[in-house]
Amino acid sequence: MTMLTYTLLTDPAPLEASAAGRPPSTGTVYLLVTNTGQQAAFWSTITVQVPVGNGAGDLTSDFTTIKPKGEYGTWSGTRSSVSLQPGPQGSNAFQVTAPGGRASFAPGDHMVLTLEEVTVAPAAGLAVLKVAENTGRTRTGRLSSSVAAVSLVKTAAKEIPPPCDFRPDKVMLDDTDTLTLSWEGSDDFSYEILFPGGRRSIASNTRSWSPAAADAPKRATTYILVATSRSTPQRKHYLTTTVQVRNPVLEILTATTGIDTPWVQGTTDATKGRVTFTGTGVEISNNSGGQSTLTADKANLTGVNTEWVQGRSTDDGWISFPKEGVNVRRGSGHDWGSVFADKADLNGVNTGWVQGRSTDDGWISFPKDGLNVYRDGSRSWGNVAAEKADLNGVSTKWVQGKDDRDGWIDFSYYGVNVFRHDEGTKRWGVIGVNRIDHH
């Protein structure tokens, strides 16, 4: 029976056995030595033998990783360090020696022998440490050797808790925002993030990731965190999170019911024309916000309200629409233009003059007094040719037959003169009648 009392404590309590494929389980073992007797005990050495191996009764598979230290405390509260040293090679033991070769261990005093950084053996079970003491009842008397067995529990390795709380720092991203994804998880997993078009492995001991500019989300994007255990067999866990983009970039959009939006705009500065939906219809704006152009192959409309219409080129003719009707202009200025048509069916025509298609054709002007007929595009009098004329009256200086050699009639102040054609002379002509009936 030992004079001193031995108690084992561990941190963590209990110790967890190491598992294959995972970082080794480590812990600290405390051996508390006390004197619970009524009188002092004198001690010389205390030796602690550690069971080494991979079995259920072994504490560790690697004795060399253990870091020992010791401390002595009196009932009055004073403390001092003691030297806990490895025993002979191959003994798998630690030994502490009393100062001066022998020291008093008073009732109520205690000593703590600490074994740090113990790599716990892989098999669960009860590990027994053997303690041997050299003690006696007097300072100079004979010492005796006694042994004690102290035990501790090693539990089976617990299942690694899966990663959790995979989250973005922002759920709605603006164009200039940088996305950061974070999560909680064990170092016993390796991590990888999957996203549309790519995958990225995460460095060890890292629990956050930000996509590079080339991988930044352009639209609503779902990220998948894949956690793979380092144990055998491997276990995988999948976590997802989704971020939204305030101004998404879409390759194609199909809406089966409709799209509700105040406006639609191009994606680049060069194409940032905008279509705005107002209460009365649609407005087309250019990339500076001013009114712009609508280009189409064909327009099928019920009506068009516009100030003017022009050809495709800036020097084409154009039509404006004043209150009085229609103005036809030519070029880009305000000079009058021409209307070309195969036929015109009109209720009336108000015009200064009318001419044939060529500039040397005859033309008609409309003075206040009536009608002027000119020839050759000049102001020389022209001829009116007709099969029949039904008139209320004719005011003229002379009348002649259709041929230049025909006779002609002159209307003088005194009456009527009848001439015959004779080389332009005024020789009297002949009046031929069938009958004269007069009163």
Tens of pLDDT, residue by residue, the chain (439 residues): 899 999 999 999 999 999 887 779 999 999 999 999 999 999 999 999 999 999 999 999 999 999 999 999 999 999 999 999 999 999 999 999 999 999 999 999 999 999 999 999 999 999 999 999 999 999 898 999 999 999 999 999 888 889 999 999 999 999 899 999 999 998 889 999 999 989 999 998 899 999 999 999 999 999 999 999 877 778 899 999 999 999 888 788 788 888 888 888 876 666 778 888 988 888 888 887 788 788 888 888 898 888 888 888 888 998 999 988 899 999 888 888 888 888 988 898 888 888 888 888 898 998 988 889 899 888 888 888 888 878 888 888 888 877 777 887 888 888 888 888 765 567 887 888 777 777 6
For residues 335-357, b (16+ Cβ closer than 10 Å) or e, as one string? eebeeeeeeeeeeeeeeeeeeee
Domain ranges of the chain: 5-155, 164-245, 314-341, 351-385, 396-439
CA distance 429 to 410: 11
From 39, 94, 46, 34, select the one nearest 68 (Cα to Cα): 94
The CATH number of 164-245 is 2.60.40.10
Domains 5-155 and 164-245 share a fold: yes
What is the pTM (predicted TM-score) of this model? 0.49
Residues 63 and 90: their CA atoms lie apart, in Å, by 10
Return the ∠ at Cα 378 (arms to 373 and 384), rounded to 5°.
Answer: 20
Contact 96, 15 (CB under 8 A): no
Residue-level pLDDT at 97? 96
- CATH code of the domain occupying 5-155: 2.60.40.1290
Strand-pairing partners, residue 91, are none
